[in-house]
Structure 1
């Protein structure tokens, strides 16, 4: 019986998707440059257990916009950062997701959009879907020739409680990092 349960658990974890940014779209409009992306990753068992015990998990999405130059290093046009805080509320058995453009502090979430979900899968789907995120003002861009956008997404280990930070150092299951670069199409 125990062997059957172990085999079933191993089979479920063998079906996990490798971390990837499956699609990424960068569009330029009169209002600015917008990024949409779909992320694919599964939380490791240890991370999910920590969440279920009430430890908040922090994610960071960062968009770097650069213009390629042949005569010098690439010109940095701008950076946009989005912060996510996922918590489990054991009394209500609900998941709470906060999204903010400023880093969360120890005194609270500050100005953040908060949403409650019944299932962890629903909260993770909201984290994994980035839709029309404004990453640059139109005045900062100028022409689009040679402009690339790099999206980086990671678990922010520095925001974890100190005792947990010491325990996760060197453990690869906590080291979730995704990255993808896309060149912005030149406009005539």
Structure 2
């Protein structure tokens, strides 16, 4: 039985409405939780470049509930530096990761933040204090001055990625489909000053 043109347009309208209804919850939650890089820069100190950055962590209710139940949450801060070239592709000079773990300990009533890369640990009485510590990177040595030449142009980038694969196995499928677990930032790019 052939389908008329009006039936096709009605079907298309229904599909579009379903897509809009499916996307609405994402836009409603988008302002309530996110991870954003507010500012990042690399400056020359002596013979090495150091990274300073401000990151804003706004956790969703699902992430806060998981923390309160003792589930650790992991984020990876990726830092990249590339030399821009006119031919082929950009040359990668640096690809560094800084990994953070935050966990609530109910018996002690504290939040513990661990820099998995350096081993530094901090204990905090509130979640906001723990997130504040993760949100500030100050004067972290990243690369040597000798790696940079004066006649080239360099681009630096930074991204914060939430590691859903570190969640307990029963929670992972939910974390991949529920927008409350989309707790990664976009790339923040800037030109490296020599």
Q: TM-score, normalised by structure 1?
A: 0.80
Between Structure 1 and Structure 2, which shows a larger proportion of helix residues? 2
Q: Name the SS of the counterpart of 1:95 in structure 2.
A: strand
2:168 to 157, 161, 167: 161
Distance 1:15 1:164, change over 3 A: closer
Aligned length: 165
Structure 2 CA distance, aligned partners of 1:20 and 1:68? Answer: 25
Q: Secondary structure at the match of 1:98?
A: strand
Distance 1:35 1:73, change over 3 A: same
- Give yes or no for contact 1:17–1:40 (8 Å, CA) kept in 2: no
1:139 offset after TM fit, Å?
2.9
**Among candidates 122, 128, 141, match of residue 121 of structure 1:** 128
| TM-score normalised by L of structure 2 | 0.78
Aligned partner of 1:174 in structure 2 is 181
The alignment partner of 1:76 has SS state of strand
- Who is 1:84 aligned against? 100
Q: Does 1:58 align with 2:74?
A: yes
Instruction: Give ranges in structure 1 of 5+ residues lacking alignment.
Output: 1-12, 102-110
Of 125, 138, 143 in structure 1, the residue corresponding to residue 150 of structure 2 is: 143
SS of the residue 2:189 aligns to = strand
C-alpha change, 1:19 and 1:30, in structure 2 (3 Å) is same
Distance in 1 between residues matched to 2:122 and 2:153, nearest whole Å: 38
Counterpart Cα distance in 2 of 1:30 and 1:141: 14
Residues 27-72 of structure 1: CA distance to partner in whole angstroms, max 9, x if unpaired? 1233321111111231000000000000000010010010100112
Give the corresponding residue for 1:35: 51
Alignment of 1:98-137 (within 5 A): 98-101=114-117, 112-137=119-144
| Rg larger in structure | 2
Partner of 1:48: 64
Paired position in structure 2 for 1:108: none
CA distance 1:99–1:128, shift in 2 (3 Å): same
Give 3-state SS (helix, strand or coil) of 1:169's partner.
helix
User: How far apart in 1 are the matches of 2:56 and 2:32?
Assistant: 10
3-state SS of 1:88 partner? strand
